[in-house]
Structure 1
Amino acid sequence: MADTDLETRALAALRRLVGREDAAFHDGQFEAIAALVGERRRALVVQRTGWGKSAVYFVATRLLRDQGAGPTVLVSPLIALMRDQIEAAARAGVRAVAINSTNAHEWEDVTARLAEGTVDVLLLSPERLNNPAFRDEQLPRLVEQMGMLVVDEAHCISDWGHDFRPDYRRLGDLIARMPDGVPVLATTATANERVVGDVVEQLGADRVTTIRGPLARASLRLGVIRLPDAASRLAWLLAHLDDLPGSGIIYTLTVSAAEDTARLLREQGHEVRAYTGQTDADERAESERLLKDNRVKALVATSALGMGFDKPDLGFVLHLGAPSSPVAYYQQVGRAGRATASADVVLLPGPEDEEIWRYFATASMPDAEHARRVLDTLGDAGRPMSTGAIEAAVDIRRTRLELLLKVLDVDGAVRRVRGGWEATGASWAYDVERYERIAAARRAEQADMLAYERGDECRMAFLQSRLDDDTAAPCGRCDVCAGAWLGAGIDAGRVSEAARSLDRVGVPIEPRRQWPTGLDRLGVPHRGRLPAEEQAAAGRGLARLTDLGWGGPLRQLFAEGAPDTPVPEAVLAACVRVLAEWDWDARPAAVASVPSRRRPVLIDSLATGLARVGRLPYLGPLHAAPAEARRGPAGNSAFRVAELDGRFSAAGLAVPPAPVLLVDDLVDSRWTLTLAARELRRAGASAVLPFALALTS
């Protein structure tokens, strides 16, 4: 096919896709299509959000299908993105279907349509590539039929990408298995030279056409407003939300912050919704639709609303707290202004940002000792083990264990099979140098984000430079180039409204009802449900450590290295308010406390303070086994119970046959409160009401 003929056909497909007879290719779009369709090559496209990367793969798919090629397989990270891509494909006359965790009822029909040849694009989540049934039965046939592979958001492949996902690493193995002549397209808007090099290597360095364009976004007006505390930031938002154009996204760093902010805005008459990874899937889909239809002013979202969300006329993106890198920030703000002449991008950084960055940076890194325990356990078992069985045998929390298993799987040390996971027998060593390099890169990115906030240079040019875009130049629009367009002043009344909202106290502590599985392997004789007569009642905590309001003072109390001091009067007063608002069945008749090695002064002062205010007797702390008899910190529920079982005793305490308030400092797994409450119930308490200063999340 001659280039002119190919371009004519490609242009016709593009115009069907966008529904305009005057549509023309952007610089680089046809070049990518020609590499894929005309030369059957591999291509990496690094272009700004809104450039039209999806047009490249849908037009290329249409042309390849017209030539008799098999379906395109599009690996896409988010279900929200899949929904948008299916709608866009239909406009180009491309029949697209998806297989993901939300549509299992459609998988059989999708498989039948693939066999019939009536699917042009199959969208897959990267996790599906390691589903044993899909990997072993369907994927080999798919590889034989495949007309093109597309890897969307390809920076996820790279350790150096801001959103590295272990599941994406498997794509390198898939690409290596593909027949010659099957084109591969990788796309991203957020890749610096280090990420580009890593992705190109996995695509096959000698066969890749890299098409990289300028990343400046002329429609975006970038600004930073620095305010002293959470109440001031929320007050600014209350005062200025209606000044922001159209509808948009308000990003927060934590689930609690998203929910608290959305609640406050709704109370003040703003049409907003919270959107987090904990939001029900159907509710997330409904919220996306409401935003697209401009029926809400904003979604208050965590990064769960991120890559690929497609609303071309999004008028603003505002951040309450900064992401940990300029690259991640560029990716999120890139949602705005894709089809409008102007969109506002505002960052309101918080003093707690760096603490949150450090937490997430360490949470995502594999641990050498954990990996050794997992491999030893699987090796000794000699058979597949479920994730739950592994969790019961090793001392690692479920979320960290799942991430570690993915890393070990990608590295070839374990394999997911029917029935769970098995060791492959391949040697594995913790790559200390690699992870130290990654950690150093993350720290450098955090320093860059702080430099962005200072505003020493054009904000758009700064973001471009951190993405190694050599076309970076002053934008003339940001608050550094053109001055601030939104004032930092806030009305005292608004601050008071925000402060009152943040001053809310009380979060539930759900009681444990069921023993964890696997205790028998640890020599602990408990299984099934806890006897009703030994259970704690529903409890309360002052706040979560991640909360915008009381989370700040509590984070200071529990900070690493913070001294053990009596509870501050303001914190004690807030705890009294929690008790005053607690709708318990019967008022407690006494107060007891959980013994603490790290904060005995804090807990004793809290318990005695609550007893004094409530005019209740303080029974004192439960007795605890000596510290040397303990196994040490435990990660998951089974090990936590094994550590604590039999440790507490209420012997010698004058426990009344009435409800007892049980006071602790920090709640994480809830097993400490559960087992301490069990001893009080066995000593005669008719009910135990757990209370804690803080919940970890």
Structure 2
Amino acid sequence: MATSVPPEAVPATASPADPAMREAAERHLRALAGPSARLRADQWTAIHALVAERRRALVVQRTGWGKSAVYFVATALRRAEGAGPTVIISPLLALMRNQIAAAERAGIRAHTVNSSNVTAWEATYEEVAAGKVDVLLVSPERLNNPEFRDRVLPELAAGAGLVVIDEAHCVSDWGHDFRPDYRRIRTLLRELPAGIPVLATTATANERVTRDVAEQLEVGDDTATLVLRGPLERESLRLSVVDLPDSTARWSWLAQHLPELPGSGIIYTLTVAAAHETAAFLTECGRDVRAYTGQTDPEERQRAEDDLLHNRVEALVATSALGMGFDKPDLGFVIHLGAPQSPIAYYQQVGRAGRGVERAEAILLPGREDREIWSYFAGLAFPPEETVRRTLDALAAAGGPVSTPRLETEVDLGRSRLEQMLKVLDVDGAVRRVRGGWEATGRPWVYAAERYAAVAAAREREQRAMLDYIATDGCRMEFLRRELDDPRAAPCGRCDACTGRTWSTDVDPERRAAAAAHLARPGTPIAPRKQWPTGMAALDIAASGNIPAGQRAQEGRALARLTDIGWGTELRRLLAEGAPDEPVGDRVFQAVVEVLAAWPWERRPVGVVAMPSRTRPRMITELAARLARVGRLAPVGALAYTRPEGPGPRRHNSAQRLASVWTALTVGDEVASALAALDGPVLLVDDYTDTGWTLTLAARLLREAGADDVLPLTLALQR
């Protein structure tokens, strides 16, 4: 079992006695962190274990404690002994950039291998082989890139002087941010030659995650893992919760109080749409902010990070894509517009602030829609056994590599969820990623139903704990530290509960009106499909390559995304499973009319066609009819299903959805006759769109029946 050293319990004078090594370590630390820097007791204990004893160690310490100093100092000492380079497995490009800059300041030559510098890989490999690289940073995904795994990794692992696993909580599926690619590290550890030390670091691991990671570190090694776990107190943080009634009030509060906050900071949102909406509103209010999400262009993300690092912006409005490893010691505040799913995830994100300043604000603005968003993400859990077995059977039957798009024709999972499942199966040894896709290994595989259910239950418990954090009248920092099993958790004396000093919930009426006006703005584009999915021949569908221009829809419009914090809230209720099929209210209808009024189409529509529906036929047909009356457009009628059940159950990926609707729709004679009498585009009205293939097929049929152009119009866009 792992050996645990009480946090900071051993004073520096009782640390491992090795004066010469200690002096060399202190010298390297000063080169890294400045002339006044001194090693903490646990830093020296970890460095000595790695360098002198060649051990495997897990360091669980708060953000800003100096975990990176441990592996950079250990690297310098190991390289001085003639050891090979340190390999750091690191999850985010932002983290890699910061680490490389820190290493260079200490005279350590560092390179990175990731998806953004493909052209530099060969030169990097050559420099590693020539001994010119002290530190090589790689993403966990790179570990299973076929070329890197088969060509580079074996030699690199055999010659490494030190292996570092940063943000090690990602290794454990009990952790709040489990990543299947991190589990491949077990294979790397198993194949390491004896005597290569390994360091894992994280700031956010409770006892269960700590035990799990420590046990995984012991793979391929007979020596127990040394665990150094410190207190998680953050003396600079002032934690607060400001409970406001709705999105309008939260936006108003943000615009009003942002200028009062110290320095620059981060405003976290739960969704990409919320990040962009919030950034746009604050910009209109005269605040200098940028949006930052996983969908932001990499170069733009780097510019945004640099602007925040150098205080050229007040804040980045970000999703969790801006998280682990972002290092700005003087970050003055972190605001959450919506609560994360767990107190542990929340603690990690607020830990971005206050590392190098005496006071930093961490303010949570919970939303009524938070639980709906948590529920959506919970639906992305590991798929049921039947789906997994179908995937394994499809790979086995293929007898060779199968690409992910081709696999979608056999397995009804969306692309990202399918890839996540394949990564887990790869780690478990059931499949293997190869050139050209994936292949089955033929090894026995057991569906760990109890473990998956236990992880799901743990997630539900974390969500309840997050609600308890919002509602608690006790110390907020103590609450978070107890969730992380910190034995020294105690009242902080600084949070709103400890001091009784709370932020006002009053909002300026003019700001509230501006927020309401912004949130009420309707309309978001629906991009038309221009290319058929790959591999449709496997489903006996003759569709490949580009969709001919004469069969495509034009760019459409939706009232809003279901994930939006404005109209999305109302649309989620309106389109919820089990909600009654009834006409939309006047407020929603007027918003749809505003969408039409703002639509910059090349040619104004002359008619309206309704989509068929088995769940909301009245809502859709009456919406189409009402739009025809108000817009003085020809009521063309509705498409029809070719069979009573329609397209059947909703499918989750492009190939499966296209197959289900390929022969499910038809244009009746009356609709065809009405189209023939029109000279101009038609609106195609539906309740919502997800993959976009139903609208694509409907537009194709309407174009073939004589429509000049088709302009899709829906109430909601799924994402």
Pick the TM interval, shorter chain: over 0.9
Cα separation, 2, equivalents of 1:414 and 1:383 = 11
| Corresponding residue number in structure 2 for 1:159 | 173
2:627 is the counterpart of 1:610: yes
Preserved contact between residue 61 and residue 232 of structure 2 (Cα < 8 Å): yes
Partner SS, residue 409 of structure 2: helix
Listed as ranges, the matches of 1:155-234 within 5 Å are 155-204=169-218, 206-234=223-251
Equivalent position to 1:19, from 12, 17, 34? 34
Q: 2:122 is matched by which residue type in structure 1?
A: E
Q: Secondary structure at the match of 1:249?
A: strand
- Does the CA contact (< 8 Å) of 2:405 and 2:533 recur in 1? no
AA partner of residue 481 (structure 1): C
Q: Which amino acid letter does the alignment assign opposite residue 466 of structure 2? A: M
Distance in 1, matches of 2:560 and 2:647, equals 29
Q: Aligned ranges for residues 236-385 of structure 1 at < 5 Å? A: 236-385=253-402
The aligned residue for residue 144 of structure 1 is 158
1:673 to 679, 695, 702: 695
Counterpart of 1:657 in structure 2 is 678
Cα distance in 1 for residues equivalent to 2:254 and 2:479:
25
- In the TM superposition, what whole-angstrom CA distance separates every residue of 1:132-175 from its partner, at most 9, and x where no partner exists? 11111111111110111100000000010000000000111111
Residues 162 and 325, structure 1, Cα contact 8 Å, conserved in 2: yes
SS in 1 for 2:290: strand
User: Identity of counterpart residues, as a percentage?
Assistant: 59
- 2:651, 2:606 → 1: CA distance? 33
For residues 6 and 99 of structure 1, the distance between their equivalents in structure 2, rounded to whole angstroms, comes to 31
Output the amino acid matched with 2:218: G
User: Are positions 1:100 and 2:121 aligned together?
Assistant: no
For this pair of structures, how many residues does the alignment match? 696
**Contact 1:28 1:211 (8 Å CA) reproduced:** yes
Separation of aligned partners in 2, 1:611 and 1:429: 57
- Of 534, 538, 552 in structure 2, the residue corresponding to residue 521 of structure 1 is 538
Indicate conservation of the 8 Å contact 2:614/2:646, yes or no: no
Assess if the C-alpha contact under 8 Å between 1:75 and 1:151 holds in 2. yes
Q: Which amino acid aligns with 2:493?
A: G
The amino acid that maps onto 1:210 is V
Asked if the contact 2:267/2:337 (under 8 Å) is kept, the reply is yes
Alignment check: 8 A CA contact 2:607 2:678 kept: no
Q: Secondary structure at the match of 1:25?
A: coil
Residue 4 (str. 1) matches residue 19 (str. 2): yes
Deviations 1:457-482 (Å, cap 9, x if unpaired)? 10000000000001001000000000
CA shift for structure 1 position 581? 1.1
Q: Retained in 1: the 8 A contact 2:308–2:316?
A: yes
Residue 366 of structure 1: how far off its partner (Å): 3.0
Q: Unaligned stretches of 5+ in structure 2?
A: 1-15
- The equivalent residue for 1:29 is 43
The corresponding residue for 1:477 is 494
Equivalence map 1:498-537=2 (5 Å): 498-537=515-554
Cα deviation 1:56-93 (Å, max 9, x = unaligned): 00001100111111111000000100000000011122
Q: What corresponds to 2:95 in structure 1?
A: 81
Aligned 8 A contact 2:265 2:334 in 1: yes
Deviations 1:629-654 (A, max 9, x none): 74532222122111111221222222
Gaps in structure 1 of 5+ consecutive residues: none
Contact in 2 for aligned 1:515/1:530 (Cα 8 Å): yes
- Aligned residue for 1:363, secondary structure, equals coil
Superposed CA RMSD: 1.3
The structural deviation recorded for 1:38 is 1.5
| Post-superposition CA distance 1:327-355 (Å, at most 9, x none) | 00000000000000110000000010011
**Equivalent-residue separation in structure 1 for 2:604 and 2:685 (angstroms):** 15
Q: Which residue of 2 aligns with 1:648?
A: 665
Is the contact between residue 364 and residue 403 of structure 1 (CA under 8 Å) also seen in structure 2? no
Kindly indicate whether residue 33 of structure 2 is the aligned counterpart of residue 52 of structure 1: no
The one-letter code sitting in structure 1 at the alignment partner of 2:83 is A
Matches within 5 A, 1:112-151: 112-151=126-165
Give deviations 1:423-444, integer Å, cap 9, x for gaps. 0001223211011100000000
The SS at the match of 1:619 is: strand
Q: Where do 1:461-476 residues align within 5 Å?
A: 461-476=478-493
One-letter code aligned to 1:695: L
Contact 1:57–1:185, Cα closer than 8 Å, also in 2: yes
SS at match of 1:463: helix
Paired residue secondary structure (2:383): coil
Q: Give the letter for the 2:339 counterpart.
A: A
Match of 1:493 in 2: 510
Describe the SS at the equivalent of 1:28: helix
Equivalent residue number for residue 575 of structure 2 = 558
Q: Return the alpha-carbon distance in structure 2 between the equivalents of residues 475 and 394 of structure 1.
A: 51
Match of 2:12 in 1: none
Shift of 1:269: 1.0
State the distance in 2 between where 1:639 and 1:366 align.
Answer: 16
Runs of at least 4 residues off by over 4 Å = none
Which region of structure 1 is more displaced relative to structure 2, 560-569 or 297-306? 560-569
Counterpart CA distance in 2 for 1:231 and 1:270 is 17
Contact 1:19 1:91 (8 Å CA) reproduced? no
The alpha-carbon distance between structure 1 residues 579 and 661, as it changes in their structure 2 partners (threshold 3 A), is same
Q: Which moved more, 1:251-260 or 1:390-399?
A: 390-399
Q: How far apart, CA to CA, are the structure 2 residues paired with 1:535 and 1:99?
A: 40
In the alignment, does 2:448 pair up with 1:426? Answer: no
The answer (yes or no) to whether the contact 1:223–1:484 under 8 Å persists in 2 is no
**Deviation readout 1:543-577 (Å, 9 max, x if unpaired):** 11111111110011112322222111110010011
What amino acid is the match of 1:665?
Answer: D
- 8 Å CA contact 1:413–1:424 kept in 2: the answer is yes
